[in-house]
């Protein structure tokens, strides 16, 4: 029987000299959920993303994906297993076309260029960038570049998608479209973990939230529980939120 836990971290600690960016972090990510990873700046969110995606090997602890220990596994191999991510600052190949950028992701599952392009065009249609397929990535607006990042990640056919602030800095209408896209991604059967700072967006979108503070797990639970948690209000949301 398949476990409902897709990924878990067990006591993950990440040290950079004397700085402890993650300290004994143990979390579970359930299949099919949209999970919010929140907390103040410097809480260790991006460091945990790096550990899960394979950009960094934790100093101690372990990471299991579908029950397999991937702690020492390179990022490319994790991608083939089904873990994909976006970056806080979009990393596009600006001189290449939008379709070619997405083909880079599609090549993970399609060694044939014709099939990779067909897969890329399907994903571009899915994220609403089909009309920009032949434009260079450098011609895209900032919101379009964020969608391109998501498209390239989806083209790898992930089971788990890590979204790093894909909705930050958008106008209200752009953010609504971004939220719709995240829901569509989940409807595609992809589990989503997202780092975001705009609480009004996060609390409408996620099924569950995990709060980090000073590298440690502070709280986890439903959005309703999190916004009423006194420790979270003190460390992250602030007195203004308590008054509201």
pLDDT digits (tens, 9 = 90+) for 131-162: 999 999 999 998 999 999 999 999 999 999 99
Burial 68-104 (b: 16+ CB within 10 A, else e): eebbebeeeebbebbbbbbbeebebeeeebbbbbbbb
CB 131 within 8 Å of CB 74:
no
pLDDT tier for residue 240 given thresholds of 50, 70 and 90: low
Q: What is the mean pLDDT of the chain?
A: 92
Q: What is the pTM of this model?
A: 0.93
| pLDDT surpasses 60 at 3 | yes
Lowest-pLDDT choice from 101-115, 118-132, 226-240? 226-240
Q: Mind listing the domains of the chain with CATH numbers? A: 1-82+160-171+191-244 (3.40.50.300)
CB 39 within 8 Å of CB 213:
yes
pLDDT tier for residue 235 given thresholds of 50, 70 and 90: confident
Residue 34: the pLDDT is 97
> In whole angstroms, what is the distance from residue 237 CA to residue 230 CA?
9
| pLDDT surpasses 50 at 1 | no
> In whole angstroms, what is the distance from residue 228 CA to residue 230 CA?
6
H or E element in which residue 185 lies: helix 172-187
Instruction: Please compute the mean of the pLDDT values over residues 206-235 and round it to a whole number.
Output: 93
Structure tokens at 64: 């299991």
Residue 2: the pLDDT is 60
pLDDT exceeding 70 applies to what percent of the chain? 97
14-60 tens-digit pLDDT: 999 999 999 999 999 999 999 999 999 889 999 999 999 999 999 99
Residue 244: the pLDDT is 55
- CA proximity to 52, closest of 204, 197, 147, 193: 193
H or E element in which residue 31 lies: none
DSSP letter string, 51-74: HHHTSS--SEEEEEETTEE-TT--
Length of the chain: 244
Is 90 or 34 the better-scoring residue by pLDDT?
34
Residue 50: the pLDDT is 94
| pLDDT surpasses 90 at 203 | no
> In whole angstroms, what is the distance from residue 150 CA to residue 163 CA?
8
Residue 139: the pLDDT is 96
CB 173 within 8 Å of CB 138:
no
């Amino acid at each position: 029987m398949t476990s409902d836990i897709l990924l878990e971290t067990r006591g993950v600690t990440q040290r950079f000299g004397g700085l402890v960016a993650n300290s004994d972090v143990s979390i579970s990510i359930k299949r099919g959920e949209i999970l919010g990873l929140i907390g103040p700046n410097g809480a260790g969110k991006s460091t945990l993303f790096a550990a899960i995606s394979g950009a960094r090997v934790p100093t101690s602890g372990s990471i299991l994906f579908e029950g397999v220990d991937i702690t020492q596994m390179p990022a490319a191999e994790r991608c083939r297993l089904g873990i994909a991510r976006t970056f806080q600052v979009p990393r596009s190949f600006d001189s290449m076309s939008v379709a070619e950028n997405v083909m880079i992701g599609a090549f993970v599952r399609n060694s044939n260029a014709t099939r990779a392009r067909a897969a890329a065009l399907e994903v571009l249609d899915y994220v609403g960038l089909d009309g920009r397929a032949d434009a260079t990535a450098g011609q895209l607006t900032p919101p379009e570049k964020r969608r391109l990042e998501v498209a390239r990640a989806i083209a790898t056919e992930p089971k788990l998608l890590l979204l790093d602030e894909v909705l930050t800095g958008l106008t209200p209408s752009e953010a609504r479209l971004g939220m719709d896209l995240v829901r569509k991604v989940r409807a595609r059967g992809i589990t989503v973990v997202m780092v975001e700072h705009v609480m009004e967006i996060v609390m409408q979108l996620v099924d569950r939230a995990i709060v980090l503070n000073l590298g440690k797990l502070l709280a986890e639970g439903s959005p309703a529980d999190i916004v009423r948690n006194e420790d979270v209000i003190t460390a992250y949301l602030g007195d203004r939120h308590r008054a509201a």
